A and B are shown apart, each in its own frame.
Chain A
C-alpha cells in the first residue's frame, strides 16, 4: 500500500443563518500526522462530519488519491477509505475484542453458511491487532479493558477496513498518560503504513511527539498548516485565537485564617484512606494525582455523592460524619462534577432550568416555582459567567463544552456556597473557556470562598492554586506549598510517587 493523499477543495457547509465551515481547502499527505486544532465552535466537528459522511457539504470537493468522492452516509465514507474514531466509543462492552473488531463480517465456513467460524474470526482479529502491534488478547471482553485499551481497540476496528484516511476525534481526552503513550505507538505504526492521520485535540503538549503538521481552524475557516518544528505554543495559540493573553494567578488573592473545610481521617474502602487536610477561607487548593489516584472519589465522598466508611468532614464549624448531598448543600458546599454530560446537566432541559437545578428551593415559594425568581437568576449567571447563548430557554445540549461547563458552575454558585469543588472543570474545553473558569475561581477566592480544584492538567494546577495536595493510590502523599516556583516536571514526578514528600 503506497502513501495516500487527501485533498479538500473549497469545502463549505452552511446551515441556515450560520456557515459552519467556510471555503476550506487543504491537502494532507499519507505517512504524515496532522494535528487539527481549533477552539470549540471553530468548525472542527463540521469538518469531521463532512469527511465521515454524517453531513453533506453545501459545496466543495473531497479527493482521495486524486479521485473525487461523494457519499450519502457513513458507510460510503468507509468504502471510500475514510475512517473516523470518535471520542465516544462505539464498542459493545459485553462482546470480546474479536467480536467487536469483526462485527458485521464474522468469518463463516463460506457463503450460505450461517454458523460463525470462531477460530477464523479470532485469527483474523488477532492478525489486525498484530499489524498494529497491539498486545491485547482477542478473546478478552471489552468490559474488562481499561478506557485506553478500548480506545486502541476502537482504532483497530476502524483500521481493519483498511482506510486511507483516519480521523481521530480527541482520542486522548479520557486517557491516563501511559495509555496515551500506547495510543501514540499505534498512530506511529499507521503513519509508517502510509495512512493520512488527522488528529483532533485540545492538548497542545501531546501533539509534540507525534504530529508532523499543525492545522488550525478559526471561525469556520482554515487558518493554515505549519510544520511542527516551527509551531511554538505562541504560534499555535495565535493561530487559534488571534491575540490572547494567558493570565496567571493574580497577586491580590488573600488566604484567610478561618478554616472553612476540615477533612479528618476520611476513608472509603478501596478508594481512599485516612485523608486529612484543611482548606481556609479564600484559599484555592489543588489536588494532583494520576488517573485512579482517588481524587474525584475523595471529592464525591466529602460531598456526599458516595458513601464513606470512616472519618469526618467539618464545614464552617459543623462536623458531619455521614455526608449527604442535601445536607452538604445546606452547609454551603457545592461541587461541579467530572462528567458534565452524565452527571452535571440535564441535556434536554433549558439553560435556565439547568442553572437552577441545585437551587429549586431558592426560586420557589412553598413548592411553587416562580418565574419572577428564576428568570433573573438565569440572566445573572449568563452575564456573569459569559455563557454564550442568545436565549436561556435554549436546550443546554446546543451549547459548546465550555459554555456547558459554565452552566454547571452557575448552577452551583446559585446555591450561595462557601466552599466549591471543581472536578476536572476544564476537560474538553478550549483555552479561552479554561481561562474564564480560572477567572471564576479567582473571583470566588477574592470573595473569601474556598475552592478545591482537581485537574489532570498539572500546568493548570500550578497556574491557579495557592497550594497543591498530591494523591497516589488513595492516599495523600505530599504537598506543594509554592506552586509559583515549582516546575511541572517536579510535580509530575511527585504524582508518580517518585518525588520528595514535601517540596517547599
Chain B
C-alpha cells in the first residue's frame, strides 16, 4: 500500500502546463503583434535571451545544489571591464588586439574560476552560506568594475569584436548559437553525467551524498566556478554589443536569471529542477518582453508581467505538487 502512496507518472499533460501556456501566448502574439511571427523576430528573441540565458543554465545547477549566486550581474560588468582594460593596456603596450583580447579573456576566466571555487570552498569548509559570499562578490565586482574603469566606459575594441554580439553564423545570430550550445551542454550534463547526478544528490541530501562517497566540496566548487565562467561569456557578449567595457551593465540581472529558473520550476529548496524548465523560463520572459515591445506597450509593464509570471508559475507547481500528494 505505502509503495503506491506517491506515484511518479510517466507523461501527463499537467506536467507541461507552462509549455502549453507559452505556446498559447506565442500563437496569440503571432496573430496580434505585428512582425512577431517571423524568422527574424524569433532569432531576435533567441539573441536577446542569450546573455541572461547562458547564466541561467549555470544558476540552475547552483539552485539545484541548494545554493544561490547573487554575483552574476555584477560579474558581467566586472569581467567586461576587466577584459576592456587588459585589452587597452596590452594594446597600448604593443600587443596585437587579437592577442590582447585572448589574454584578457584568459585572465577573466582565471579570476571567475578562482572566485567561484572560493565561494564553493568556504561554503564547504566553513559553512558560509553562498547567499552571503556571493552578496559580497556582488558588491566587490560592481565596485571593481567602477574602479577599473574610473566609471567611464573603455572602448579598445576592433570592429571584428562586434561579431560576438551581433554576428551571424549561417543566418543564425552568434549569440543565439552560444545560447543553444550552452543549453545543450548543460542539459546533457544535468541528465547524463555523474557530475549532474551528484549535484541533484547533494541538493537533495548533502549528508547522504557525502556518506555515499561523493566529493561534495569538489562539486560545490565546480558548480560555483561554472556559473562564474558563464558570467564571463555573457560579459564578453555584452561588451561586444556595446563595443566597450562599461561598469553599469548587468544591474539586477541576478534577479532576472533567478526568475527564469523559478519560472522553469527549479526548486529553491534544492534537489529538484530541470535545464529544460529554465530554457522555457528564459524564453517565456523574453517572449513576453518582445511581444510587449511589438504591441507598443510601455516597457515598464514588463515588470508587472514578470511578477505575474513568477507567481503564476509557482502557483502551478505548488498545485501540481499538492495534487500529487493528496490525489
Q: Check if A346 sits within 8 Å of B205, measured CB to CB.
A: yes
Q: CB-CB < 8 A to B304: which residues of A?
A: none
Question: What total count of A-B pairs have CB within 8 Å?
Answer: 107
Q: B193-204: contact bitstring with A at CB < 8 Å (1 yes, 0 no)?
A: 111111011001
What is the CA–CA distance of A400 and B6 in the complex, to the nearest angstrom?
A: 12
Given contacts A348-B204, A369-B193, A399-B3, contact A357 B8 (CB under 8 A): no
Residues of A in contact with B (beta carbons under 8 Å apart): 15-18, 20, 40-41, 43, 220, 305, 325-326, 329, 335, 337, 342-350, 353, 357-358, 360-361, 364, 367-369, 388-391, 393-395, 397-400, 403, 411
Q: Check if A345 sits within 8 Å of B208, measured CB to CB.
A: yes
Q: Check if A329 sits within 8 Å of B213, measured CB to CB.
A: yes
Closest-CB distance, B323 to chain A (whole angstroms): 12
Pick from A18, A346, A348, A357: contact of B4, CB under 8 Å: A18
Closest-CB distance, B40 to chain A (whole angstroms): 38
18 contacts between A and B (CB under 8 A): A17-B4, A41-B2, A326-B213, A342-B205, A342-B208, A343-B207, A346-B271, A347-B204, A348-B272, A353-B200, A353-B201, A367-B193, A369-B192, A369-B193, A390-B3, A393-B8, A394-B7, A398-B6
Q: CB-CB < 8 A to B12: which residues of A?
A: none
Given contacts A353-B197, A357-B201, contact A305 B6 (CB under 8 A): no
What is the CA–CA distance of A393 and B194 in the complex, to the nearest angstrom?
A: 18
Interface centre among A18, A390, A411 (most CB of B within 10 A): A18
Q: CB-CB < 8 A to A400: which residues of B?
A: 2-3
8 interchain residue pairs of minimum CB distance: A346-B204, A358-B212, A398-B6, A41-B2, A346-B205, A357-B212, A400-B2, A360-B194
What is the CA–CA distance of A406 and B248 in the complex, to the nearest angstrom?
A: 56
Closest-CB distance, B217 to chain A (whole angstroms): 12
Closest-CB distance, A296 to chain B (whole angstroms): 12
Q: CB-CB < 8 A to B135: which residues of A?
A: none
Q: Check if A360 sits within 8 Å of B197, measured CB to CB.
A: yes
Q: Check if A40 sits within 8 Å of B208, measured CB to CB.
A: no
Q: CB-CB < 8 A to A367: which residues of B?
A: 193-195
Chain B residue at minimal CB-CB distance from A336? B211
Chain A residue at minimal CB-CB distance from B198? A360
Chain A residue at minimal CB-CB distance from B202? A346
What is the CA–CA distance of A329 and B210 in the complex, to the nearest angstrom?
A: 12
Q: Check if A344 sits within 8 Å of B211, measured CB to CB.
A: yes
Q: Check if B208 sits within 8 Å of A364, measured CB to CB.
A: no
Known pairs A41-B2, A329-B213, A349-B271. 4 more at Cβ < 8 A? A342-B208, A360-B194, A368-B192, A369-B196
Q: Check if B208 sits within 8 Å of A20, measured CB to CB.
A: no
What is the CA–CA distance of A398 and B324 in the complex, to the nearest angstrom?
A: 12
